[in-house]
Amino acid sequence: MRRALQCMAVVFALVLVAAMQVSAADIELAKKSTLEEILKRGELRVGFEAGYMPFEMTDKKGNFVGFDIDMAKEMAKAMGVKFVPVNTAWDGIIPSLITGKFDIIMSGMTVTQERNLKVNFADPYIIVGQTILLNKKHEGKVLSYKDLNDPQYIVTSKLGTTGEQAVKRMIPKCQYKSFETETEAALEVVNGKADAFVYDLPFCVVFMAQQGAGKLVFLDQPFTYEPLAWAVNKGDPDFLNWLNNFLRQVKNDGRYERIYNKWIKGTEWIKDVAQ
C-alpha cells in the first residue's frame, strides 16, 4: 500500500512539474505576442494596398478610407492605441508582414491554402466570390463563366489575385491578360480591348456603378466561394484569440452592420473617392 502511495505521489509530482512547464511556456509565448508589442508601442500598424474598392481607397483629400480602414480604426480604438496605416504593394504584402513592417494585413485578402502556409488567418469577416463584368457586345450570348471558356474570348483580372486563379483554373481555354491593378483590368473591357473582367463581387458592384453604365453587363452571381480574413504572423495564438473575439463583438453590437451598410450596400461615398 505504501509503495502504491509513493508511486501515486511521484506521478502527481511529475504531472505538476509538466503542468508548470506548460504554463511557463504559455506565459513566454504570450509575452512574445504581437498584441503585447502593439500595446507597448501604442500603435496598431495595419498593412493594406489602397485601390481595392470599397475596402481600402484614397479619398480626394488624400486620406485612406474604406471598409477595412473603418474596421481597423475600430480595432485600434478597442485596443486603446493609435491606428497607423501602411500602404503596401500587393505582391509584397505577405513578406512585409513576416518581416515586421506592420502587425496585421487588413486588405480584402481571400483565405487560400497557399497563403495559409505562410500566415495565419482570423475568422472570415465577409464572404465574397468572383463575378464578371462583360463587354456589352456579348449581352445575351455569354451568360456565365462557362461560356467564356473559349480561345475567342480575352479575359482580364489583377495579377496575383484569386480572380486570376479562378480564370486559370475555371476558364483555362480563354486568352488571359493580367494587370497590375483591378481598375486597369476592368477598363480594358470598357475600352473594348478585352471581353470580360473577373474579380471580387464588391469591387465589380462599385466599378459598374461608376463606369459600367451602357458599356458593361454585370454577371453578378458569384461562381466561387471566397472568405476574406485578416492575416497575422504564424505562432501567435493570443493575437488570433483577441481578433476573433473582437470580430464576434462588433458583429453583434451594431458596429459591423454600420460599416457594412456604409461601404458595401451604400454608394454615397463614391463621390468623395479619388478617381
Residues 6+ apart with CB under 8 A from 217: 133, 134, 135, 136, 138, 139
Multiple choice CATH, 130-224, 3.40.50.720, 3.40.190.10, 3.40.50.2300, 3.30.930.10: 3.40.190.10
Question: What's the Cα-to-Cα distance from 157 to each of 108, 120, 132, 199, 259, rounded to whole Å?
Answer: 16, 26, 10, 6, 27
Give, for all 275 residues of the chain, the pLDDT tens digit.
555 556 565 555 555 544 455 454 555 656 679 999 999 999 999 999 998 889 999 999 999 999 999 999 999 999 999 999 999 999 999 999 999 999 999 999 999 999 999 999 999 999 889 999 999 999 999 999 999 999 999 999 999 999 999 999 999 999 999 999 999 999 999 999 999 999 998 889 889 988 998 999 999 889 999 899 999 999 999 999 999 999 999 999 999 999 999 998 788 898 888 76
- Give the burial class of 205: count Cβ atoms within 10 A of its Cβ; 0-12 exposed, 13-18 middle, 19 or more buried: buried
Is the distance from CB of 189 to CB of 195 less than 8 angstroms? yes
pLDDT reported for residue 56:
95
Buried b / exposed e along 74-97 (16+ C-beta atoms within 10 A): bbbeebebebebbebebeebbeeb
d(CA 182, CA 85): 21
Q: Please state the pTM of the whole predicted model.
A: 0.72
For residue 56, the 8-state DSSP code is B
pLDDT reported for residue 270:
87
Multiple choice CATH, 34-127+227-272, 3.40.190.10, 3.40.630.40, 3.40.640.10, 2.60.40.10: 3.40.190.10
d(CA 171, CA 86): 35
d(CA 124, CA 6): 52
pLDDT reported for residue 8:
60
* Element housing 165 (H / E): helix 162-170
Residue-range domain boundaries for the chain: 34-127+227-272, 130-224
Residue for grid cell 480604438: 77
Is the distance from CB of 201 to CB of 131 less than 8 angstroms? yes
pLDDT reported for residue 220:
86
Q: Is 14 helix (H, G, I), strand (E, B) or coil?
A: helix
Same fold, 34-127+227-272 and 130-224: yes
Torsions phi, psi for 231 (to 5 deg): -110, 140
